[in-house]
Structure 1
Amino acid sequence: MRAVTITSFGGPDALTVADLPVPEPGDGEVRVRVLAAAVHPLDVVARSGFLGPMLPAGPRYVLGADVVGTVDAVAPDVRGFSVGQRVVGMSNWPDTKRGTQSEYVVLPADVLALAPAASDPAAAATLPLNALTALQGIDLLALPAGSTLAVTGAAGGVGGFALELARLRGLKTVGIAGPKDESFVTERGATFVARSEDVAAAVRSVVPDGVDGLLDAAAIGAPALGAVRDDGAYTGVTPPFPPPGERGVRTAVVFARGIGEQLAELVALVDKGELTLRTPRTFSFERAGEAHGALAEGGTRGGVVLTP
């Protein structure tokens, strides 16, 4: 099978398409024939060699966490999936190094869910990591209904899902994004705040007492804490450590995990029209370097996806 791999660290030219054996599913596992696999900053960081001891140099690594495809083989002990079904899933890649940017991938059944019923595979491939990060990040904030949540990077992959998920939980939302994304933010029921160098002051211009919680999808870090009221909560999206708390503000960082049950809930919201998928830029495996370049340039609001 063809797969997007690295054997050494560097720029986009470090990516190669290699021919590897088709993997066999073990106990509790499903083999998926890949239709689309998203590219995320994690892939860029891994390719560049910035994961340190998490990613020793030398072996061949297949990149990718998100996948949409069809079930190709199922271990005898797996229930709930059968050959031919279209599924969506998220590999817990930092732990397993099972990359999804290949023609086939074997994953535990418990990180998979049936794919959105009427969605294009490339669009659906942008759901798992982004939406699970948003969902699990909001969970860490533990805000009661009626609270106010600010989201930095509100027009990005994580931020866009966060606005919708927060609204479904009865939270009032403030979305921080660039001026060209104002309509995107307001259409999702959020108060728009234009991105600025002083994000705390910008947020407090509309919420003078500070917001109850902040999901930092833009990875601003410590400078964003000033937007949060005393004894509020902050969740970042860049492991391993959040900024130190201040004024009683609780700080945490979300390290998204592939959880099939949560993913199934998110798919149900997509099918009901309550969670919005966007159209990504798509590239073939052979153009993976271009895909990495497009992601690094930023502004790809629908995400970047590879197709075999």
Structure 2
Amino acid sequence: MKALVYRDFGGNDRFEIAQVDRPHIGPDTLVVRVVAAGINPVDYKVREGYLRGAIDTVLPAVPGWDVAGIVEQTGLDTPEFAVGDAVLAYARADVVQHGSLAEFMPVPVRTATTKPEGLSFTDAAALPLTGLTALQTLERLAVGEGDTVLIHGAAGGVGSFGVQLARLRGATVVGTASPRNHDYLRNLGATPIPYGDGLVAAALEVAPDGFDVIIDFAGGTSLDATPELLAEGGRVASIADARARTEFGGHYIWVRPDADQLAELARLTAAGDLRVEIAATYALDEGAAAYAQLEEGHTRGKIVVTI
């Protein structure tokens, strides 16, 4: 089968299109014919070797954990699915080797859910990692009716879902973003403020009593202003800065596969209650270019590779 692979760790130039063996199937695994694959920053961080202490990689490796496609083959104990079913999954395995940037992918059945008919394969492929990250963060912080929430990186792939899911829970949402994305955030139901100089004043103008919840989906210096902005008894979480836990008594979030939660995200999207922002789509042969755009760091929404 054809796949995007890298044979050693390093930059974007390590990518090549190659013919590799089709994946073997386990008793609790599906082989999925990939229709679309979502890409994420963690993919190139693994390729660059930054996560070698946390995630094992078998080279040559195919990147990608987000997948939408058609079940090609079922394992011996996968009664939930049949050949021909349309599925989506956050198909993260314990080892990086057989990713979604390929014609076929092995998908652990515990990570997969049925794709609703009203959900396109492209939108389905954009949901898993970012949607689950946002949902699991809100769950961990028990975000609900009446909360005032500040989301750093609100216009990014995770932040866009975080804003919408918090609003669906009845929260008031303020989001940091560059000015070019402020109208986008307003359309999602958030009050936008600029990051950088003046952030504290702008945030307190909107929420003079501070924020019940502060969520960092951006990293960097986002949490620096937390002592000035967090209301008494407030909750903090980050997907990029361990200070959320070590300094502010909150949570560091590492997303986990969860088929039931993914099914809920798919249902909300198919019903029109959750919007998926697609920044760009690429063909598999253009996979390296897709990651090059992602690595620029200014993408709003998701980049999807179609197979």
TM-score where L is the length of structure 1: 0.91
Q: Which residue of 1 aligns with 2:108?
A: 108
- 2: CA distance between counterparts of 1:264 and 1:57? 28
Asked whether the equivalents of residues 148 and 172 of structure 1 are also in contact (C-alpha less than 8 Å), the reply is yes
Residue identity opposite 2:260 in structure 1: E
- 1: CA distance between counterparts of 2:133 and 2:139? 10
Q: Which residue of 1 aligns with 2:231?
A: 229
Deviations 1:75-107 (A, max 9, x none): 2321221111211101224x2324111111111
Residue identity opposite 2:10 in structure 1: G
Instruction: Show the 5 A alignment for 1:108-187.
Output: 108-187=108-187
Deviations 1:201-254 (A, max 9, x none): 432221122101111111244314232223211111127x344555xx432111
Asked whether the equivalents of residues 122 and 280 of structure 1 are also in contact (C-alpha less than 8 Å), the reply is no
Q: Which residue of 2 aligns with 1:89?
A: 89
Deviations 1:102-135 (A, max 9, x none): 1111111121112242333223211111100000
From the superposition, tell whether residues 46 and 161 of structure 1 become closer, same or farther in structure 2 (CA, over 3 Å): same
- 2: CA distance between counterparts of 1:40 and 1:10? 16
Asked whether the equivalents of residues 133 and 254 of structure 2 are also in contact (C-alpha less than 8 Å), the reply is yes
Q: Which residue of 2 aligns with 1:47?
A: 47
Residue identity opposite 1:281 in structure 2: A
Instruction: Show the 5 A alignment for 1:263-282.
Output: 263-282=262-281
Residue identity opposite 1:67 in structure 2: V
> Residue 154 of structure 2 aligns to a residue in which SS?
coil
- 2: CA distance between counterparts of 1:135 and 1:185? 18
Worse overlay, 36-45 or 212-221:
212-221
Considering only aligned residues, what root-mean-square deviation do their CA atoms show, in Å?
2.0
Q: Which residue of 1 aligns with 2:287?
A: 288
Asked whether the equivalents of residues 144 and 166 of structure 2 are also in contact (C-alpha less than 8 Å), the reply is no
- 1: CA distance between counterparts of 2:225 and 2:129? 23
From the superposition, tell whether residues 231 and 128 of structure 1 become closer, same or farther in structure 2 (CA, over 3 Å): same
C-alpha deviation, 1:194, in angstroms: 2.2
Deviations 1:121-151 (A, max 9, x none): 2232111111000000111212342111111
Asked whether the equivalents of residues 232 and 250 of structure 1 are also in contact (C-alpha less than 8 Å), the reply is no
| Structure 2 runs not aligned, ≥5 long | none
